[in-house]
Structure 1
Amino acid sequence: MDEIIKREDALFEHISKLIDEAHKHVKTTVNTAMVYTYYGVGKYIVEDEQTNKERAAYGKGVLKQLAVKLCNKYGDGWTVDTLKRCRYFYKVYSSSVIGATPLPQSEEVPQFTLSWSHYLVLMRIENADERKFYEIESRQQNWSVRQLQRQYASSLYERLALSRNKDEVMRLANEGQTVDKPSDIIKNPITLEFLGLKPDTVYTESKLEDAIISKMQQFLLELGKGFLFESRQKRFTFEEQLFFVDLVFYNRLLQCYVLIDLKIDKLTHQDLGQMQMYVNYYDRYVKQDFEKPTIGILLCKEKNDALVELTLPKDANIYASAYQLYLPDKALLQAKVKEWIEEFEENEELKKLLR
């Protein structure tokens, strides 16, 4: 009994010292400091648990007593549930080090740059590659917790993966979403659940456009990196005829205009021809010499890649992208991505054997 009390006291002292060190940080770094603290707390708990021969009673005994002592000294925040989250946080991130930053105890840990609220979302993502992708994007795009939750719920990782060549899928986990060429901004499907339009109701292209304009901030987030909104129903005249482009954007990363036409009916070759004319007009009369060729996107209920390939020349900078008014089936998309990755890895093994 005395040995158990000594062990509990030692564990309390270790964690107490760690929390005291965290409190010394200036206010601007409190959030990050606490993330490292939670990681360290989890480390101490896991290490102590691994040396405890009576694991079955661990959660009910040691954690409960530890929580009582910590709450008495630091307030009500150090509950058993908090300690369990710390333990899980450590288990997840100690096995997937992205960077390395030493703790005072010279232990190397991942480089944490987000808030604890972000990590509460991230650490529940089982797939390590997917988790790394969302962590990179949260940091680079300065996502709020709500934006991170929405992007995860909308299966951004899977949709980007399935919109790319298999050789590029592995880059997502290591670099996040890279935007080097026009196809990098395409995702299938584009998810517009935030518009509030019900899939089973009748609506016009004008109503769809109005809904997008009213939720432009969310729409820009869904489009992805580098997008700036320029105008709606952009009018231009050619040979005394008026033409209107539904939505005009500019992508600062690709340095080009991006034209979007909305289609609620079946995609036709006339739609593609019209977009080709819009793109040609912008390339010849609007874009400046330093800018890249204009991109055209037909946002439609059902895309038809075969029709696009048959109608347009191979070097056309025009894409059809499907949209949906509800969140996608994450399990289905995850299964598809898994198949792609397995095929990628099999091809890599085959290449090694043929060398």
Structure 2
Amino acid sequence: MEKKELTPIDHKFLQSVAEVLAQARKNAKTAVNLSMVYAYFEIGRMIVEEEQHGANRAAYGTQLLKELSAYLTEKYGKGFSVGNLKNIRQFYKVYANDQIGETVFSQFENLPAVSTGRKFFLSWSHYLKLMRITNIDERHFYEIEAVKNDWSLNELKRQYNTSLYERLALSTDKEKIYRLSTEGQTVETPSDAVKDPYVLEFLGLPELPSYSETELESRIIDHLQQFLLELGTGFAFIGRQERFTFNEEHFMVDLVFYNRLLRCFVLFDLKIGELKHQDIGQMQMYVHYYDRKVKLPDENPTIGIVLCKDKNNAVVEMTLPEDNAQIFASKYETVLPSKESLQKLLQEQMSDADGGEGE
């Protein structure tokens, strides 16, 4: 009897089954992490209320944490040191009266709420980082963005260390600054998708005494996932050195992306030196070509961003039309910016805006 050959199992099927299991495990892990966050909030409340009953509160509080630590460690093992109990107490103090706009989290509407009505959406490790941000608007912004973009703890730390909140606030108007703390980053207009500066510390370029535009481009491609994270919400990579021919001349666009929220192409031209007006003119030609030859009729106008090491804002303003909404020039930094200097600039910007309204 002839032996029948078995039909090979489709590898995509195997992957699909594995993905279901992986998602289930992730969901289970998330549920456990969230349960611990809610439990820690309740424990923090109990500690604070018990401390308030002590006659000598400072001494009683110290003794309380020591005894509670010993008791919980004996009963449940590691994780309940005096230091961690202090974090749990501080967590309650920070979030007891802290409310956040939950309309942006409609997918979590079934989550329970603590006695104050507050809901929690992230892991304990995330909240350990968040609760140390003293500016409540900034804290809300990073919580919202971490939830919306499913940031890992490392991604949250990186965005905080690169001063994402200050950079977005400096790039927008006063009304939208207030929206950052209630909605996170909203991408409704081309300018919403642009940062100034972009922070590219992950490229490792400070180690090089000099580098070319080709080297800069190659480093970005090598670290594409991190670059997409830096770009923000809705970006998808299309290609590098995208070629087109016009009047028998060949041109290359360094990097091409598509933004799903704005429904448009986003072109990047990389410059390692100071921005010149010719660079802006070249980008205008790229944008016009994509608008006339590449984009579909139902897609929005193309955005062009010249990413440069240095720029003169006066040159940019004089080169671009007053009603410009498509061409942008942004600096890039290869080291982490000073958070203090950006905060100072933001405070000055807000003070100028308040002063201008009063005139």
Q: 1:48, CA displacement in angstroms?
A: 1.4
Of 44, 47, 53, the residue aligned with 2:46 is 44
Partner residue of 1:92? 94
**Which structure 1 residue ranges, 5 or more long, are not aligned?**
1-25
Q: Report Cα offsets for 1:53-74 as digits up to 9, x if no partner.
A: 2122134311100111111112
Partner residue of 1:326? 335
Partner residue of 1:296? 304
Q: 1:40-79 residue pairs with structure 2 within 5 A?
A: 40-79=42-81
For residues 76 and 355 of structure 2, what CA distance do their matches in structure 1 show? 53
For 1:34, the aligned partner's letter is M
Q: Is 1:122 matched with 2:124? A: no
For residues 332 and 56 of structure 1, what CA distance do their matches in structure 2 show? 37
Retained in 1: the 8 A contact 2:220–2:227?
yes
For residues 83 and 99 of structure 1, what CA distance do their matches in structure 2 show? 28
Q: Report Cα offsets for 1:184-220 as digits up to 9, x if no partner.
A: 0111110000000117721100000010000000000
Q: 1:178-217 residue pairs with structure 2 within 5 A?
A: 178-198=186-206, 201-217=209-225
Partner residue of 1:34? 36
Partner residue of 2:173? 165
Partner residue of 1:19? none
For residues 132 and 224 of structure 2, what CA distance do their matches in structure 1 show? 29
For residues 79 and 68 of structure 2, what CA distance do their matches in structure 1 show? 12
For residues 91 and 236 of structure 1, what CA distance do their matches in structure 2 show? 59
Q: TM-score, normalised by structure 2?
A: 0.86
Q: Secondary structure at the match of 1:265?
A: strand
Q: Secondary structure at the match of 2:306?
A: strand
For residues 343 and 128 of structure 1, what CA distance do their matches in structure 2 show? 22
Retained in 2: the 8 A contact 1:99–1:110?
no
Q: TM-score, normalised by structure 1?
A: 0.87
For 2:333, the aligned partner's letter is Q
Retained in 2: the 8 A contact 1:190–1:323?
yes
Q: Report Cα offsets for 1:127-181 as digits up to 9, x if no partner.
A: 1000000000000011111100000000000000001112221111111000000
Residues 333 and 28 (structure 1), Cα distance of their counterparts in 2 relative to 1, 3 Å cut: closer
Q: Is 1:335 matched with 2:337? A: no
Q: Secondary structure at the match of 1:132?
A: helix
Identity %: 56
Q: Report Cα offsets for 1:252-309 as digits up to 9, x if no partner.
A: 0000000000001111111111100000000000000110000000000112222122
For residues 236 and 191 of structure 1, what CA distance do their matches in structure 2 show? 29
Partner residue of 1:247? 255
The CA RMSD measured in Å over matched residues stands at 1.8
Of 211, 218, 224, the residue aligned with 2:232 is 224
For residues 53 and 356 of structure 2, what CA distance do their matches in structure 1 show? 43
Q: How many residues align?
A: 322
Q: Report Cα offsets for 1:30-80 as digits up to 9, x if no partner.
A: 111110111111111111112222122134311100111111112122111
Moved more, 205-214 or 329-338: 329-338
Partner residue of 1:6? none
Moved more, 284-293 or 70-79: 70-79
**Which structure 2 residue ranges, 5 or more long, are not aligned?**
1-27, 103-111
Of 273, 282, 285, the residue aligned with 2:290 is 282
For residues 88 and 45 of structure 1, what CA distance do their matches in structure 2 show? 10
Moved more, 308-317 or 113-122: 308-317
